[in-house]
């Protein structure tokens, strides 16, 4: 739904209900979402959201790899290093801005995806979409098993969050720190 921003499954459910009730009012008949393929719509939206997440992450990593190469090349250039300093700083700042922008986009995408996963697993009585108890049970068992895994220290923090969380927050976080370090290095070596 264009323009709807929700950060929790309940908010997303209410936004869907409001949008669909408007549709029912315009057509002059009550809305039966299940008859209109509501379950299929939610599933398709969930898969579409996962595809958007994967595409954004792929583009982000590709763009970052080009920027990292350009920044390091400009900083390590031995021929008139002071001449390349402005270029290095511009590339570093562009990388940092791109990181912040994609961090926000991936975080919002992940929140929407989590809300849709919750609707699929638990259902939504307001919209008339049945939950799939099997999916809910599988998700619960998986999260419990992941949280009880015993790993050595650096890896022991990994099970607390999902792999998607690490992709949306870990990669931009590490690259953000790298860009800040590159900016500081460019300034200090000038």
**pLDDT for residue 153 is more than 70:** no
Provide the whole-model pTM: 0.65
Instruction: Please give the Cα distance from 178 to 91 (Å, whole number).
Output: 13
Phi-psi region of 178 (alpha: psi -120 to 50; beta: other; left: phi over 0): alpha
* Closest by CA position to 67, among listed 95, 86, 101, 87: 95
Does 156 fall in a domain? Answer: no
Query: How confident is the model over 115-126, as a mean pLDDT?
Result: 75
Instruction: Please give the Cα distance from 142 to 139 (Å, whole number).
Output: 5
pLDDT, mean over the chain: 74
Report residue 6's pLDDT band, with 50, 70 and 90 as the boundaries. very low
* Closest by CA position to 84, among listed 94, 73, 93, 68: 73
Residue 130 has phi, psi (to 5 degrees) of -75, 150
| Torsion, CA 122, CA 125, CA 127, CA 128, rounded to 10 | 90
Does 76 fall in a domain? Answer: yes
Does 84 fall in a domain? Answer: yes
> What is the domain range of residue 64?
9-134+161-188
pLDDT tens sequence across 63-96:
999 998 888 887 776 665 667 778 888 889 999 9
Does 139 fall in a domain? Answer: no
Instruction: Please give the Cα distance from 117 to 115 (Å, whole number).
Output: 5
pLDDT tens sequence across 128-152:
676 666 666 766 776 677 667 676 6
Does 38 fall in a domain? Answer: yes
Domain count along the chain? 1
Query: How confident is the model over 150-179, as a mean pLDDT?
Result: 80
Does 67 fall in a domain? Answer: yes
Does 111 fall in a domain? Answer: yes
User: Is 179 within 8 Å of 95 (Cβ atoms)?
Assistant: yes
Does 1 fall in a domain? Answer: no
């Amino acid at each position: 739904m264009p323009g709807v921003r929700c950060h929790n499954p309940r908010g997303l459910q209410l936004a869907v209900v409001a949008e669909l009730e408007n549709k029912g009012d315009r057509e002059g008949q009550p809305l039966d979402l299940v008859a209109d393929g509501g379950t299929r719509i939610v599933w398709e939206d969930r898969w579409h959201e996962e595809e958007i997440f994967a595409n954004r992450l792929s583009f982000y990593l590709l763009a970052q790899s080009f920027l990292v190469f350009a920044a390091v090349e400009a900083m390590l250039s031995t021929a008139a290093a002071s001449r390349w300093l402005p270029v290095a700083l511009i590339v570093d700042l562009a990388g940092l801005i791109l990181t912040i922008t994609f961090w926000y986009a991936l975080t919002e995408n992940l929140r929407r995806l989590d809300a849709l996963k919750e609707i699929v697993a638990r259902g939504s009585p307001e919209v008339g979409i049945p939950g799939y108890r099997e999916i809910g049970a599988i998700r619960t068992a998986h999260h419990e098993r992941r949280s009880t895994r015993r790993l050595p220290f650096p890896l022991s923090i990994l099970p607390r969050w999902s792999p998607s969380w690490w992709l949306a927050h870990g990669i931009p976080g590490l690259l953000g720190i790298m860009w800040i370090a590159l900016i500081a290095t460019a300034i200090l070596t000038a």
